[in-house]
Amino acid sequence: MKKNQKTPHLLDTPLSVINVGLESFSEDLKSQNVATLHIDWSPPAGGDPVLGDLLSKLGA
Amino acid sequence: MEEIGKVIDQANEQALGVLLSGEPVLVDVVLAADVIDGLKEKIILHAGPPIKWNKMCGPMRGAICGIAVFEEWASNLNEAEKLASQGSLEFAPNHQFGCVGPMTGMTTSSQPLIVVENQHYGNRAYCTINEGLGKVMRFGGNDQTVLERLSWIKNELAPLLGQALRRAGGIKLKPLIARGLTMGDEMHQRNVACSSLLLRELAPHMAAVAPETETLARAYSFIASNDQFFLNIAMAAGKALTDPAYGIKGSSMVTAMSRNGTDFGIRVSSTGDRWFTAPVEMPQGLYFPGYSESDANPDMGDSAIVETIGLGGFAMGAAPAVAGFVGAGAASQAGLYTKNMAEITLGENKSWTIPAMDYLGVPTGIDIRRVVEANISPTINTGIAHKEPGIGQVGAGVAKAPMACFQKALRAFAEQMGVK
Amino acid sequence: MTFLLNVVQHNSYADSVALMRLSDKISGSPGVKEAAIMIGTPANKEILATANLLGGDGQSAGPGDIILAVRAVDQNTANRVIAGWESELNKKAEGLSATEIWRPKTIRGAFEQQSDASMAIISVPGPFAIAEARKALTRNLNVLIFSDNVAIDEERAIKEEAKSRDLIVMGPDCGTAIIQGKMLGFANSVPNGKIGIVGASGTGIQEVSCLLAHMGHGISHAIGVGGRDLTEQVGGISTLTAIDLLEKDPQTDHVIIISKPPSEKVCSKILSKIERSSKTFTVCFLGSPLLQLSSNARQATTLELAALLAANQEIKPINSVSKNTGAAKRILGLYAGGTLAAEAQIILIDHGFSVTSNAPVPGALPIGSGNLQHTIIDLGADEYTQGRPHPMIEPSVRSAPFLKACDDPTVGAILCDIVIGNGAHANPAGLLISLLSDLDHPPIFVSVTGTNQDPQGRDSQMKLLESAGCTVASSNAEAARMAISSILPA
């Protein structure tokens, strides 16, 4: 799985945001010139709690 | 929990590696009876997961009757239908016998089959020769013209192709497909570039072995007039690439996707030969003049094996022209479909890259976990058949693999992994 | 009786799919029986013939031509269709039409695209927030969780996981942060400076940072930790991490900690950390009893005092307001900001009032029956926000209770907060005063948490409120004091 090789320092590492949820946050960040990628999010497994639970246990 | 995640990740890495490291080579054309054990009398292999006569759609039934007459198990179509409905004919999926077939996918003992060998793992996969467009058996056609064409393919074209291939020492398909991708093919709805490249490679060998020029001319003409000639070869390549990836315990990678016009079935590496099925969906697309959605047959064929190896709908970014069938966007949006598929796959195939997407490798190795999680179903580019047998293709479009297949597979996979 | 028309465009090529789409568009039009545009190959001509669309002209077309074929109710309709097609075909490609930007569907997909990502901001519905946060942490991202309605044991687990990876989870229920000068969530445009804030609540951070701004002091960073971080169950994990971060930050000289009172164990962990620190601290645990602090720390009982202490202002005696000598009517507070509601309660309690609230501070009571209850409502509390937007985002949530309060004869003064800034409503003052036109109402005391650099503009919001007859205070604490003054007998 791809992950950040260096642990980002909250107060130091340049902000680069993945926004999951309200699009307005994404717009606010972009207007402050923060690199932001907005996700077209929808609940995992279409919101099915049983499948969602299975997925989290299967390392998804 | 993290342990299981690691086990699955490792198994998937292995499975994807097997898929990506295959070397498919088109080596021969052979008679089905010579290579497939168990293809005895009155067994008909069909596309898709297992299905009974009374559940089959119109085109499938039409094809079955036609092939029964071709094999001389019945003297006419009516007799053939009686045999079928009485249970005197046995039906089985192509996949179960190392084969694949487009649309109705009829495979029987006297059919000539192209042979693709995966030279990295030594396994072989088979598919019939593409009959061409219009009134053909893969769309349920079964009249005299259809059977005569099948006879010609068997008696004249197949031997010529087989000899030519053997003389050529086989044709490597991975680089050929790579070229096709740079020329606007995606190997499911669009095969014209690969069909042309193939003919170019084969032509000198065909000319060298043809008994006389008329045979050669007929063979050239047949292949050259069929934009979809390469489809069957791409499908056999898909089967040859995925077969070695069966049965890797812990892998959630999809090894087959297939439809029989009634049910859609998938197979997953860890659960081996098991089918996970759900009713097929209707393709969404554009229709030839005179036809509309009310004429359409539900989704059908083993050709979704092509998406299973990262081509077809997954490679839409290489074939912007095809994107128009989706109806949702301009040709410039084709890449979005490929990016969508990247959400549900394990990796990309660096041997098959899409220039317009900065040489992104086609997204490969569908992970059932990701399909269910993201609620994104594999996009399959497909032809649309008329629901009445024997009329032929009436359009082309996009079909989605039913989410229910993946949900079922996920539950079975979880159970196998001991996760509740 | 139908009319068939074939027009052939010679030496023309267009993609077969594009042509199909064009003909598809026309097929359903009124007066059109059948229509098709196809390249003139033999196979296509056969298709056209079968569909009764091939006429003489089309018959003579070759594979290098395009056939436009239509069967319509009359010649005029047919001509119109052909003309429409011809103009489409001859239109030069206008370049990309409606370019859709790729949007990833999952954190995994997003990370593939932006692998230098350093933070995930999560504001999905509560039940899904932790799973998403976990996906972010496993990819080595810091996390801000805006979502609330998250189970507290899950909060603990995710914060343990963050700690083990040297990362921080800000939240859940973290609405505000200012990191490296950037506003995350609801925050105000305040100057850059040397004071760091660790806040278990958004509006607390907002009020303190704005009051400091009014005094000419700036913020280095404001780290939100979520409302429950300092509970026994969560153990202050994020707060302790935040203090460590600010400790090591060369920009920060002084740290303010804002929260409801922590649990005893968490409190002592924090105080020991403060003791070992080389920086100075202002500790504002709203409603907490007097604490034993090390010499580098001072305690503030209100947000207002926290700002004053951090700014090292002389604590001048605040406009003395009498204690409660028996008010005839009650004060009703309707708050969008939870910590502002808490501050209001503390000020009332300090002045000898018995206060009830749906989010009572120590010393306040839960809302009961009984008539003359001074009541402070936190409209952002969980019971109000289940499945509904937070009043900071949608202030109209306050409208109904506000109108009810205006109508309530027992209410002698209404207390309100107006919070502006990034992410807040475009004109919360305007919304409030629109409720007041032609309305009889008790005196309204309000403050505006914000600065003039915020898009709404603090001064203009204050003017709007004043013009509608509200009394505008310079801080939330001041507003509470003014409300108290107004209901006490002279």
Q: Which of C100, C34, C86 is nearest to B323 (CA)?
A: C100
Residues B63-83 have a mean pLDDT of 96
**Same domain as C62, residue C119:** no
Q: Of C314, C349, C379, at which residue does a domain stop?
A: C314
**Same domain as C164, residue C276:** no
- Which residue of C107, C113, C119 is the best one to mutate when testing the A interface, meaning the one whose CB has the most A CBs within 10 A? C119
Residues of chain B with Cβ-Cβ distance to A42 below 8 Å are 374-375
Does B117 fall in a domain? no
Q: At what angle do helices B58-70 and B77-86 cross, to 10 degrees?
A: 110
Mean per-residue pLDDT over chain C, rounded: 89
Between residues C487 and A3, which one has the greater pLDDT? C487
Q: Of C314, C349, C366, at which residue does a domain stop?
A: C314
- CA dist B28 → B119, B130, B225, C18 (Å): 13, 15, 22, 37
CB C252 within 8 A of CB C195: yes
C437-463 burial, b if ≥16 CB within 10 A, otherwise e? eeeebbbbbbbbbbbeebebbbeebbe
Alpha helices, DSSP H, located in B291-402: 305-308, 320-323, 334-342, 368-374
pLDDT score at C370: 60
SS3 B394: strand
Q: How many domains does chain C have?
A: 4
Residues B229-257 have a mean pLDDT of 98
Residues of chain B with Cβ-Cβ distance to A56 below 8 Å are 1
Element (H, E) at C432: helix C428-434
**Predicted complex ipTM:** 0.95
Minimal Cα distance from A56: which residue of B? B1
**Same domain as C340, residue C481:** yes
Residues of chain C with Cβ-Cβ distance to B370 below 8 Å are 106, 108
| pLDDT tens profile C181-202 | 999 999 999 999 999 999 998 8
Q: How many domains does chain B have?
A: 1
| pLDDT tens profile C417-451 | 999 998 888 999 999 999 988 888 999 999 999 99
SS3 B25: strand
- Count CB atoms within 10 A of the CB of residue B417: 20
Residues B16-42 have a mean pLDDT of 95
Between residues C316 and B143, which one has the greater pLDDT? B143
The residues, ordered by sequence, that sit 6+ positions from A14 with a Cβ below 8 Å of its Cβ are: A35, C116, C118, C180
Please give the torsion angle defined by the CA atoms of residues B83, B87, B89 and B95, in that order, rounded to the nearest 10 degrees. Answer: 140
Structure tokens at A52: 């969602």
Does B53 fall in a domain? no
Cβ pair A40:C245 closer than 8 A:
no
Cβ pair C106:A28 closer than 8 A:
no
| pLDDT tens profile C323-365 | 777 778 999 999 999 899 999 999 999 999 999 999 999 999 9
Between residues B177 and C11, which one has the greater pLDDT? B177
Cβ pair A60:B370 closer than 8 A:
yes
Cβ pair A54:B8 closer than 8 A:
no
**Same domain as C148, residue C47:** no
pLDDT score at B8: 97
CB C261 within 8 A of CB C229: no
Residues of chain B with Cβ-Cβ distance to A55 below 8 Å are 369, 372-373, 410
C14 touches chain B (CB under 8 A): no
What's the rounded Cα separation, in Å, for the pair C239 and C237? 6
| pLDDT tens profile C205-234 | 999 999 999 999 999 999 999 999 999 999
Mean pLDDT check: name the lowest of B111-120, B365-374, B380-389: B380-389
pLDDT score at C97: 37
**Same domain as C461, residue C376:** yes
List residues bridging with C116 in a β-sheet: none
Residue C116: give its domain's CATH number: 3.40.50.720
pLDDT score at C26: 72
Cβ pair C102:B336 closer than 8 A:
yes
DSSP strand pairing (B171-172 vs B24-31): antiparallel
**Same domain as C404, residue C462:** yes
Residues C295-317 have a mean pLDDT of 88
- Those chains having 3 or more beta-carbon pairs within 8 angstroms of chain C are A, B
Does C97 fall in a domain? no
Q: Which of A1, A48, C73, C85 is nearest to B404 (CA)?
A: A48
Cβ pair A42:B373 closer than 8 A:
no
CB B289 within 8 A of CB C53: yes
What's the rounded Cα separation, in Å, for the pair C419 and C431? 12
Does C403 fall in a domain? yes
pLDDT score at A2: 72
Element (H, E) at C17: helix C16-27
Does B305 fall in a domain? yes
Element (H, E) at C449: strand C444-449
Does B231 fall in a domain? no
In the 8-state DSSP scheme, what is residue B53? G
Cβ pairs A/C, distance under 8 A: 143
The residues, ordered by sequence, that sit 6+ positions from B294 with a Cβ below 8 Å of its Cβ are: none
Element (H, E) at B353: strand B345-354
Confidence class of residue C93 from pLDDT cuts 50, 70 and 90?
very low
SS3 C288: coil
* Residue type present at position B415: E
Cβ pair A59:B9 closer than 8 A:
yes
Does C352 fall in a domain? yes
**Same domain as C84, residue C134:** no
Does C323 fall in a domain? no
- CA dist C487 → A49, B237, C47 (Å): 52, 86, 89
pLDDT score at B1: 56
Cβ pairs A/B, distance under 8 A: 53
Residues A29-50 have a mean pLDDT of 90
| pLDDT tens profile A13-23 | 999 999 999 88
Q: At what angle do helices C476-487 and C338-350 cross, to 10 degrees?
A: 40
Q: What residues make up the domain containing C202?
A: 191-314
pLDDT score at C92: 39
pLDDT score at C314: 62
What's the rounded Cα separation, in Å, for the pair C30 and B90? 50
Across the interface, of B2, B6, B410, the residue whose CB is closest to A54 is B410
Structure tokens at B168: 């050529």
Residue B215 in this model has a pLDDT that exceeds 90: yes
The residues, ordered by sequence, that sit 6+ positions from C317 with a Cβ below 8 Å of its Cβ are: none
**Same domain as C351, residue C425:** yes
B418 touches chain A (CB under 8 A): no
**Same domain as C477, residue C341:** yes
Does C101 fall in a domain? no
Structure tokens at B38: 């168990």
Across the interface, of A45, A57, A59, the residue whose CB is closest to B372 is A45
Cβ pair C50:B133 closer than 8 A:
no
Q: In chain C, what percentage of residues exceed pLDDT 90?
A: 64
Residue C89 in this model has a pLDDT that exceeds 80: no
Q: Which of C472, C401, C393, C465 is nearest to C434 (CA)?
A: C465
Structure tokens at A37: 């990628």
CB B406 within 8 A of CB B367: no
Q: What residues make up the domain containing B372?
A: 246-416
- CA dist B117 → B105, B108, B245, C348, C488 (Å): 20, 20, 15, 84, 95
Residue C406: give its domain's CATH number: 3.40.50.261
Residues of chain C with Cβ-Cβ distance to A34 below 8 Å are 182
Between residues B125 and C9, which one has the greater pLDDT? B125
SS3 C13: coil
Minimal Cα distance from C35: which residue of B? B289
Between residues C101 and B267, which one has the greater pLDDT? B267
Cβ pair C140:A20 closer than 8 A:
no
SS3 C144: strand
Mean per-residue pLDDT over chain B, rounded: 94
Q: Which of B334, B341, B363 is nearest to B184 (CA)?
A: B334
Q: Which residue has the tokens 């997961």?
A: B49
| pLDDT tens profile B385-416 | 999 987 888 888 899 999 999 999 999 999 99
Confidence class of residue B328 from pLDDT cuts 50, 70 and 90?
very low
Residue C117 in this model has a pLDDT that exceeds 50: yes
Sign of the CA dihedral running B138, B297, B308, B91: negative
What's the rounded Cα separation, in Å, for the pair B69 and B79? 9
Does C439 fall in a domain? yes
Confidence class of residue B286 from pLDDT cuts 50, 70 and 90?
confident
A34 touches chain B (CB under 8 A): no
Element (H, E) at C193: strand C192-199
Structure tokens at B239: 């089967």
* Residue type present at position B321: A
Does C430 fall in a domain? yes
Cβ pair C17:B321 closer than 8 A:
yes
pLDDT score at C15: 61
First to last CA, chain C: 96
Across the interface, of C46, C51, C106, the residue whose CB is closest to B343 is C106
Mean pLDDT check: name the lowest of B150-154, C17-21, C342-346: C17-21
pLDDT score at A50: 86
- Count CB atoms within 10 A of the CB of residue B355: 12
Between residues C419 and C12, which one has the greater pLDDT? C419
In the 8-state DSSP scheme, what is residue B155? I
Minimal Cα distance from A58: which residue of B? B5
pLDDT score at C18: 67
Q: Of C259, C286, C314, at which residue does a domain stop?
A: C314
Does B5 fall in a domain? no
